[in-house]
């Protein structure tokens, strides 16, 4: 069932666990994640970046593909189809019009007033259509979709203002996590994370989930994180499995066999993350 993020994130907040957000890149990615999450009987958020959207052909393709998978694979779990780091009102509108159930408007590079103005515009359009909105404040650094940026941490007062002014459904405060691989141990600001979650009702989102050690993930959840985004880690798991397959089967050219050789690795990674993020559910 395609749902927005409202109920699943509020349930997670009540239960002190985090919903996994996995970025998808193609049909196989979406299929493997959905099959594994159905097997585990847990809700999931499928994230689509602007780059991945372009790669797959557009928002309509993705909505058609995901709806088709839900039907043909008889998926019964709640599935939220979410735009990851939408950078403009137009992107979010296009996704909503195509049938996405949740969007992130990332206006975090703009000054606070402009971030509020743009986020508010998206919230008004989205909420009137039953779609939920995530916003970012501070700036998450690292590399995603070949875009590299430097981080700056969120401030409590700015988080309070953004949430109060915009009526968003979830907030991604940048607190030291980065997209892609970390250089050394991640340095997350757990103190501010806890303060933000104590001052605000909205569920908090942790981006850059790849490479954050288990004990820090647990600490983040105990400080109020209810959604954790994972992208790179699944890509690496898939890449390693496929590279091994190609090395061992140099004459295998059927794309179903080549791409599909990463299925087990993706499913194992998904299960590992579910066990870590949602153990209070089990």
Catalytic residue status for 240: no
The residue among 43 and 47 lying less far from ligand 13P, judged by its C-beta, is 47
Task: State in angstroms the smallest separation of the CB of 168 from ligand 13P.
Answer: 16
Q: CA torsion, points 69, 70, 74, 79, in degrees to nearest 10?
A: 140
Active-site residue, from 84, 106, 169, 189 = 84
Nearest to 70 by CA among 30, 23, 39, 98: 30
Does 207 contact ligand 13P by CB under 6 A? yes
Does 13 contact ligand 13P by CB under 6 A? no
In angstroms, the CA 159 to CA 203 distance is 12
In angstroms, the CA 101 to CA 267 distance is 24
In angstroms, the CA 144 to CA 26 distance is 16
The residue range among 60-68, 70-78, 161-169, 202-210 that interacts with ligand 13P, by the rule CB under 6 A, is 202-210
Task: State in angstroms the smallest separation of the CB of 257 from ligand 13P.
Answer: 27
Q: Which of 9, 36, 70, 84 binds ligand 13P (CB under 6 A)?
A: 84
Q: Which of 20, 176, 209, 224 binds ligand 13P (CB under 6 A)?
A: 209
Burial grade of 215 (CB within 10 A; 0-12, 13-18, 19 or more):
exposed
- In the region spanning residues 154 to 193, those forming contacts with ligand 13P, defined by CB under 6 A, are 179-180
Does 23 contact ligand 13P by CB under 6 A? yes
> Where on the phi/psi map is residue 61: left (φ > 0), alpha (ψ -120 to 50), or beta?
alpha
Strands of 11-131, DSSP E: 19-23, 44-49, 79-86, 102-105
Does 231 contact ligand 13P by CB under 6 A? yes
**Residues carrying an active site annotation:** 84
Query: In the complex, which residues of this chain contact ligand 13P (CB under 6 A)?
Result: 23, 47, 84-85, 179-180, 207-210, 229-233
């Amino acid at each position: 069932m395609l749902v927005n993020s409202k109920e699943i994130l509020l349930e997670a907040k009540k239960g002190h666990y985090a919903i996994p957000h996995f970025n998808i890149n193609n049909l196989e990615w979406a299929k493997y994640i959905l099959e594994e999450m159905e097997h585990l009987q847990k809700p999931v958020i499928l994230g689509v970046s602007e780059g991945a959207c372009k790669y797959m052909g557009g928002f309509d393709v993705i909505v058609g593909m995901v709806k088709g998978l839900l039907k043909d694979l008889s998926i019964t779990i709640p599935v939220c189809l979410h735009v990851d780091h939408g950078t403009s009102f137009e992107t979010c509108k296009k996704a909503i019009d195509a049938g996405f159930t949740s969007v992130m408007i990332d206006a975090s590079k703009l000054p606070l007033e402009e971030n509020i103005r743009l986020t508010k515009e998206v919230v008004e359009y989205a909420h009137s259509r039953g779609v939920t909105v995530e916003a970012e404040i501070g700036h998450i650094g690292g590399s995603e979709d070949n875009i590299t940026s430097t981080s700056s941490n969120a401030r409590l007062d700015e988080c309070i203002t953004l949430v109060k002014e915009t009526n968003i459904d979830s907030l991604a405060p940048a607190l030291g996590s980065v997209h892609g691989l970390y250089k050394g141990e991640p340095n997350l600001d757990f103190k501010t994370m806890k303060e933000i979650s104590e001052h605000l009702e909205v569920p908090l989102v942790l981006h850059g989930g790849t490479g954050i050690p288990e004990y820090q993930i647990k600490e983040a959840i105990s400080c109020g994180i209810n959604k954790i985004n994972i992208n790179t880690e699944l890509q690496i798991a898939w890449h390693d499995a496929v590279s091994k397959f190609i090395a061992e089967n140099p004459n295998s050219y059927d794309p179903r066999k080549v791409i599909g050789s990463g299925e087990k690795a993706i499913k194992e990674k998904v299960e590992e993350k579910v066990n870590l993020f949602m153990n209070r559910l089990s």
